[in-house]
Chain A
Amino acid sequence: EAQVTQNPRYLITVTGKKLTVTCSQNMNHEYMSWYRQDPGLGLRQIYYSMNVEVTDKGDVPEGYKVSRKEKRNFPLILESPSPNQTSLYFCASSFGTNTEAFFGQGTRLTVV
């Protein structure tokens, strides 16, 4: 089954404790992105990647890092999480630059 898998689904952590949210897709897509979704603000792009070792900032990259060492994986790293990063996070992948994006199930992160 074609899918984008994120882990964990739920995470509660404390301010400053480094964490990684994993994302993996099995569709051989070149393009992958991370979004955060907040009430009243919609989905906002954090980072994207056009291929292995090629990444760039989206609209809200501050406080986040990404890496793309393999085509299928695109982890999101919060090196020193803060409460304003409490949000619902989605990973997405797509075949082309202007084609439909497939989204993961989401990771609900709470930073206390």
Chain B
Amino acid sequence: QVQLQESGPGLVQPSETLSLTCTVSGDSINSYYWSWIRQPAGKGLEWIGRMYNGGSPNYSPSLKSRVTMSVDTSKKEVSLKMRSVTAADTAVYYCARAGEYGFLDYWGQGRLVTVSS
């Protein structure tokens, strides 16, 4: 059974860097794309980006200048860093797995990140 678990600080200061980790268990981290998606309270889903181990990441154009994703195969972790955050970045952040094509078949439970001083 594939399981994804997001972790990281739940509170981030404005202008600082949001850092989240997604730990994968139950399957290999290779051979899949790993995406980050976020959801502000009461709103819809926004795709942040995806990456494939050993490949180039693919980011949403609207966030590309502030986002970095990476994969650590030895720890089976996928990470997200988002720089210069503002209150508009407050959301539940999900990691999710995609196969070759892009539909998201496994999701983590999500991590609420609040940007506030």
The answer to whether A and B assemble together is no
Report which B residues bind A (CB closer than 8 A).
none
Report which A residues bind B (CB closer than 8 A).
none
